[in-house]
Amino acid sequence: MQGGWRLWLSLWLCGALLLFAGLGTASVTPERAQQLYGPQVLRIYRDWQQLVLRLGRESDEVKVREVNQFFNQRLHYMEDIELWKQVDYWATPLESMSRGAGDCEDYAFAKYFTLRELGVAQQKLRMIYVKARIGGPASTITQAHMVLAYYAEPTAEPLVLDSLISSIMPASQRSDLQPVFSFNGDGIWVGGGSAPNASVDRLTRWRQLIDKMKAEGFIN
Amino acid sequence: MKRVSLIQQLWFLVVAAVVLAAAGSLAANLYNARNYLEQQLAAQSADAANSLALLITQNHADRAMGETLINAAFDQGHFRSITWRDPEGKATVQRLNAAGFGGAPQWFRQIFPLTTAPARAMVSSGWMQAGFVEVESEAGYAYVSLWQGALTVSFWVAIAGIVVGLIGSIGVGTIRRQLLAVVDQAKAITQRRFVTIPEPDGPEMGRLAQAMNAMVTRVKAMFEEEANRLEEMRRQLNFDKVTALANRDYFMGRLGATLGEPDVAQEVLVLMRIGALAELNAHLGRPLTDEMLAQFGRVLLDRQRFGDDSLAARMNGADFTLLAQQSHFDADKVAQLHDELMALLSSFAGEAVVLSMAVTELRQGDSIRDVMSRLDAALALAEANGGTRVEIAGGNVDKPLALTAERWGHLLDQAVAASEFKLVRFAVRNAHGGLLHEEAPLRLKQGDDWLPASQFLPMAIRTRRVAALDLAAVGMALTQLAADPACPGLGVNLAAESLDDDGFIAQLAALVRNQRQAASRLWLEMAEAGVVPRFERFRALCLALEELPCKIGVEHFGRQFSLIGQLHDLGIDYLKVDGSFVPQIEQHQGNQTFLKGVCNIAHNIGLGVVAEGVKTEQEASTLFALGFDGVTGPGVK
């Protein structure tokens, strides 16, 4: 009896994985995006779709460079309090594209999910909370900041994708940033344990962001 | 397959509802609790993993520092394991609480598994990845909590279940009682007892009982109407209008029947003549004369004085007769009666009135003619004497056993103890000449003689030994029935006086119950005249024998006829109609109509009807044509 139950669960998981694998190309249609956030979203979204199509077969390094460049050029930096009238707001990539603006987390999330869409492995990407010194090496002004890091190898020095600086640099050249903590979309949970913990999991901000994107249809 | 009764179904429903509700609430409670505990464990793991990862990252992922931090967290916390793995997934630091934490039985853990997936948080050393921290909370205390919860909930659910079950069983019990009442009523109806029951409160049962009661009431009303009609007919046919005494025809029938009975009871017949009644009538006027005669009749009708079975009749204008048991009526009492009646007449007509009176005993072998001519002669003598004293016709017959009551008691006790009895048999035949059953009266051995019941029964009644005699007779009949399977049935005549004995009914029922097989051919009967004054006792007897296979009947039915209106309440099986109606029935149109009515009413409530005192072939064939099921008497061999 229990064996049968396990068999069914594993079959179901396989099906879910297959679905997820096929997801890469299927994204939100322009009509759906327009319906959600108005016509202004299409300004950036159509270009983003083309970018994704264009980069499909490129190497990870090219993808990282192009995606970083795309968002640093098309979004302009704006604090949450101005943009969303909230102290701290985690926007989805589509929301950021509809406003054409975002703060440091929004840049990092947009880049992270685009790279994931392009097939970059999850283990190579981390969102990193950093303490950033602003205004030159002698400055004492610091602020909380977030960047996306790309690890070509798990033990390698990462490349830092920042919203403040348009070009990508190795971490060793970013003495203005002091890393504090990191996480990725691996989820907090290990080993398919998401089902029983679903309700308490929803309390985390990361999970809330994922849920919002699922509602948009951006990811499944 | 055994069919499930309504009560069993109701019980099943109650039990199933209680069990399902209890199991459902227990399961729902446990699953909710388990879900909550799992989430708490998960949140605890995740928060601990993040805090540890943050601390280790802040300390540049120094291995010693990391291990210290992990030790501190592990030793003070509630974790099953904390592991720091490098980016390749190899464990750098691992703490594992292999002992676990008991408290809940193993089977319970298997039925309600708590899945505690480990939580993971990333560790960095500066910009470099330093693997991740995995934390798994200890589920043991959660199991204990879940187990305690299950016990508590089970306890309360069991209490609630018991309460609901009790309430349910009270409800089922009520329905069961009400159903049984209606079932008993229906059963009583099939046994020809038309009883009503109190209507229960519930609308369904109430309507059912109401309908049954209405039916019973209607049947009773029909029955009573018919009974009243018959009673009225009998009165017109057989009774004198002025005095309410029996008429000549009826009296002669009864006298003939009495003389024709196998055991002529020790009875006396009194003949009275009011002298010069025609002159009195002219002198007093008709209304006053009628009033005088009515009061005269009322004195003679006193059954308490002359015995249950006594009969008084107005033979013609001035002649009256009184048939009474000798035990109630010795020479002193006859003289007393004469004085009393004289006083009554004098109060109307003055001292000149003459009342002549003669008395005689009925003897074995007497014909009506013998008795009447003896009395007529004596009466002539009395008239010649001016009616001043009562003439006794034929003198005292030889009484073979003029013994004291004490001696009789001793004799009867001895006879019962030594079983010095026998049963003689008289046939009761149906229309085809077949044997319906045999009447089996008791004979008492006295020296070389066998005494008929008429000689020892009055003394048995007086010495209160009649119940023992009846039981002895029933026992003997049952023994004979058991020994003779070909015998269609034996009828035992029970004295109504036995009912006065408190233990009689129970002893009789026990006797019959012990011989169920033979008892199906046992016919027990009591005389109507004795039953009427003891009606409630007789009803108790019928109820006691209700479940037993023996048959119960009433004999000498119609002598008094007060019983027909109550037959439907008793549950008896047959009637034996008194021989008074039988003599020359083929010529008596009025009595034919009456007996036909009796047969109809009896058959309608399922009773068999037998005629007593049948002497001739013509009588028998007329009676069968009227609807009788059987006949017995001197003419039936």
**Within a 10 A sphere around the Cβ of B344, how many other Cβ atoms?**
17
- Please give the angle made by the CA atoms of B332, B336 and B339, to the nearest 5 degrees: 140
Interface of A with B (CB under 8 A): 126, 128, 149, 151, 154-155, 157-158, 160, 171-172, 174, 179-184, 186, 188-194, 196-197, 199-201, 203-204
Comparing alpha-carbon positions, the chain B residue that sits nearest to A188 is B120
Q: Which of A172, A181, A200 sits opposite B42 (nearest CB)?
A: A200
The pairs formed by B316-319 with CB atoms below 8 angstroms and a separation of 24 or more are B316/B248, B317/B277, B317/B278, B318/B273, B318/B274, B318/B275, B318/B277, B319/B271, B319/B272, B319/B273
- A197 with B117: Cβ contact below 8 A: yes
Give the minimum alpha-carbon distance from A168 to chain B in angstroms, rounded to a whole number. 15
User: Is 3.30.70.270 the CATH number for B239-392?
Assistant: yes
Report whether B625 contacts B609 (CB < 8 A).
no
Instruction: Tell me whether residue A57 is in a domain.
Output: yes
Q: What is the mean pLDDT of residues A14-19?
A: 42
Query: What phi-psi label fits residue B584: left (phi over 0), alpha (psi between -120 and 50 degrees) or beta?
Result: left
Q: How far from chain centre, in Å, is Cα B423? A: 30
**Amino acid in the structure at residue B424:** V
**Within a 10 A sphere around the Cβ of B203, how many other Cβ atoms?**
8
Alpha carbon distance A197, A219 (integer Å):
20
User: Which chain B residues are within 8 Å of A188, Cβ to Cβ?
Assistant: 46, 49-50, 119-121
In this structure, the dihedral spanned by the alpha carbons of residues B297, B301, B302 and B307, taken in order and rounded to 10 degrees, is 140
Q: What is the mean pLDDT of residues A109-122?
A: 90
ipTM of predicted assembly, 2 dp:
0.71
Instruction: Tell me whether residue A7 is in a domain.
Output: no
Q: What is the mean pLDDT of residues B603-627?
A: 90
User: Which chain A residues are within 8 Å of B50, Cβ to Cβ?
Assistant: 188
Res A198 pLDDT > 70:
no
User: Which chain B residues are within 8 Å of A183, Cβ to Cβ?
Assistant: 121-122
Query: Is B118 at the interface with chain A, CB within 8 A?
Result: yes
Q: Which of B58, B115, B122 sits opposite A184 (nearest CB)?
A: B122
- Mind giving me the DSSP string for B357-419? EEEEE--TT--HHHHHHHHHHHHHHHHHTTT-S-EETT-PPP-TT---HHHHHHHHHHHHHHT
Res A134 pLDDT > 60:
yes
**Within a 10 A sphere around the Cβ of A156, how many other Cβ atoms?**
16
Tell me the per-residue pLDDT of B17-61, one tens digit each, with 9 for 90 and over.
888 888 888 888 888 888 888 888 888 888 888 889 889 988 888
- pLDDT above 70 covers a percentage of chain A that reads 79
Tell me the per-residue pLDDT of B212-261, one tens digit each, with 9 for 90 and over.
888 888 888 888 888 888 888 888 888 888 888 888 888 988 888 888 77
- Best residue in A1, A123, A189 for a mutation probing chain B (most B CBs within 10 Å): A189
Report whether B366 contacts B342 (CB < 8 A).
no
Alpha carbon distance B166, A8 (integer Å):
45
In the sheet that A125-134 helps form, which strands lie side by side, from edge to edge? A169-170, A159-161, A141-150, A125-134, A177-183
Identify the CATH class of B6-163. alpha beta
- Please give the angle made by the CA atoms of B258, B262 and B263, to the nearest 5 degrees: 75
Residue A113's CATH number: 3.10.620.30
User: Which chain B residues are within 8 Å of A126, Cβ to Cβ?
Assistant: 122, 124, 129
Query: Is B119 at the interface with chain A, CB within 8 A?
Result: yes
Give the minimum alpha-carbon distance from B162 to chain A in angstroms, rounded to a whole number. 34
- Please give the angle made by the CA atoms of B44, B47 and B50, to the nearest 5 degrees: 145
In the sheet that B442-446 helps form, which strands lie side by side, from edge to edge? B421-423, B442-446, B449-452
Q: What integer pLDDT is reported at residue A147 of this predicted model?
A: 92
Higher pLDDT: B489 or A10? It is B489
- Mind giving me the DSSP string for A96-139? HHHHTEE-HHHHHHHHHHHHHHTT--GGGEEEEEEEEEESSTT-
Both tokens of residue B2?
């055994």
Both tokens of residue B553?
């009947």
The partner residues of B324 in beta bridges, in order of sequence, read B268
Query: Is B136 at the interface with chain A, CB within 8 A?
Result: no
- B126 with A171: Cβ contact below 8 A: yes
Alpha carbon distance B467, B453 (integer Å):
14
At residue B367 the predicted structure's pLDDT band, cuts being 50, 70 and 90, is confident
Q: What integer pLDDT is reported at residue B106 of this predicted model?
A: 82
Res A31 pLDDT > 70:
yes
Alpha helix stretches (DSSP H) within B191-244 = 203-238
CATH architecture of B405-631: Alpha-Beta Barrel (3.20)
Q: What integer pLDDT is reported at residue A3 of this predicted model?
A: 42
Alpha carbon distance A37, B185 (integer Å):
83
User: Which chain B residues are within 8 Å of A129, Cβ to Cβ?
Assistant: none
Higher pLDDT: B577 or B398? It is B577
**Structural domains in chain A (count):** 1
Q: What is the mean pLDDT of residues B547-558?
A: 89
Report whether A127 contacts A108 (CB < 8 A).
yes
Report whether B348 contacts B382 (CB < 8 A).
no
- Best residue in B32, B86, B115, B127 for a mutation probing chain A (most A CBs within 10 Å): B127
- pLDDT above 90 covers a percentage of chain B that reads 12
Res B155 pLDDT > 60:
yes
Both tokens of residue B102?
């008991």
Mode of pairing for the β-strands spanning B551-557 and B574-577: parallel
Res A70 pLDDT > 70:
yes
At residue B399 the predicted structure's pLDDT band, cuts being 50, 70 and 90, is very low
Both tokens of residue B569?
């309440």
User: Which chain B residues are within 8 Å of A181, Cβ to Cβ?
Assistant: 53-54, 57, 122, 124
**Within a 10 A sphere around the Cβ of B609, how many other Cβ atoms?**
23
Give the minimum alpha-carbon distance from B113 to chain A in angstroms, rounded to a whole number. 12
H or E stretch at A43: helix A40-55
Q: Which of B39, B50, B115 sits opposite A199 (nearest CB)?
A: B39
Furthest CA-CA distance within chain A: 68
- B42 with A189: Cβ contact below 8 A: yes
Q: Do domains B239-392 and B405-631 have the same CATH topology?
A: no
Statement: the pTM of the whole predicted model exceeds 0.80: no
Q: b vs e for B95-115, b when ≥16 Cβ sit within 10 Å of the residue's Cβ?
A: bebeeeeeebeeebbeebebe
Both tokens of residue B357?
């009176």
Q: Is A64 exposed, middle or buried (0-12, 13-18, 19+ CB in 10 A)?
A: buried
At residue B402 the predicted structure's pLDDT band, cuts being 50, 70 and 90, is low
Alpha carbon distance B427, B490 (integer Å):
9
Helix (H/G/I), strand (E/B), else coil: B570: coil
Report whether B248 contacts B296 (CB < 8 A).
no
Tell me the per-residue pLDDT of B175-220, one tens digit each, with 9 for 90 and over.
888 888 888 888 888 777 778 888 877 788 888 888 888 888 888 8
Report whether A65 contacts A168 (CB < 8 A).
yes
In this structure, the dihedral spanned by the alpha carbons of residues B249, B251, B253 and B254, taken in order and rounded to 10 degrees, is 160
Res A6 pLDDT > 90:
no
Report whether B294 contacts B243 (CB < 8 A).
yes
- B57 with A182: Cβ contact below 8 A: yes
Half-sphere exposure of B621 (CA within 13 A, CB side): 4
**Within a 10 A sphere around the Cβ of A103, how many other Cβ atoms?**
24
- B121 with A190: Cβ contact below 8 A: no
Res B397 pLDDT > 50:
no
At residue B506 the predicted structure's pLDDT band, cuts being 50, 70 and 90, is very high
Q: Which of A126, A201, A204 sits opposite B122 (nearest CB)?
A: A126
* Residue A30: domain span: 26-216
Q: What integer pLDDT is reported at residue B395 of this predicted model?
A: 53
DSSP for residue B563: S
Residue window 52-81, chain B: list those with CB within 8 Å of chain A: 53-54, 57-58
- Give the phi and the psi of residue B181 in degrees, each rounded to 5: -60, -45
Q: What is the mean pLDDT of residues B355-365?
A: 85
- Mind giving me the DSSP string for B275-327? TTHHHHHHHH-HHHHHHHHHHHHHHHT-HHHH-TT-EEEE-SSSEEEEEEEGG
What is the torsional sign of CA B403, B404, B409, B411? negative
Both tokens of residue B178?
């009400």
Alpha carbon distance B422, B485 (integer Å):
19
Alpha carbon distance A88, A81 (integer Å):
7
Match 């009270």 to its residue by tokens: B170
Q: Which of B53, B120, B129 sits opposite A151 (nearest CB)?
A: B129
Query: Is B124 at the interface with chain A, CB within 8 A?
Result: yes
Query: Is B42 at the interface with chain A, CB within 8 A?
Result: yes
Report whether B297 contacts B245 (CB < 8 A).
yes
Alpha carbon distance B521, B509 (integer Å):
15
Lowest pLDDT segment from A19-28, A86-95, B276-285: A19-28
The partner residues of B246 in beta bridges, in order of sequence, read B239, B313
Instruction: Tell me whether residue A124 is in a domain.
Output: yes
DSSP for residue B627: T
Mean pLDDT of chain B: 85
**Amino acid in the structure at residue B176:** R
Query: Is B402 at the interface with chain A, CB within 8 A?
Result: no
- Best residue in A2, A188, A204 for a mutation probing chain B (most B CBs within 10 Å): A188
Q: What integer pLDDT is reported at residue A205 of this predicted model?
A: 81
The partner residues of A169 in beta bridges, in order of sequence, read A160
Comparing alpha-carbon positions, the chain B residue that sits nearest to A191 is B117
Q: How far from chain centre, in Å, is Cα B226? A: 25
Query: What phi-psi label fits residue B61: left (phi over 0), alpha (psi between -120 and 50 degrees) or beta?
Result: left
Query: Is B32 at the interface with chain A, CB within 8 A?
Result: no
**Within a 10 A sphere around the Cβ of B11, how many other Cβ atoms?**
17
Contacts of B600 (CB under 8 A, 6+ apart): B226, B627
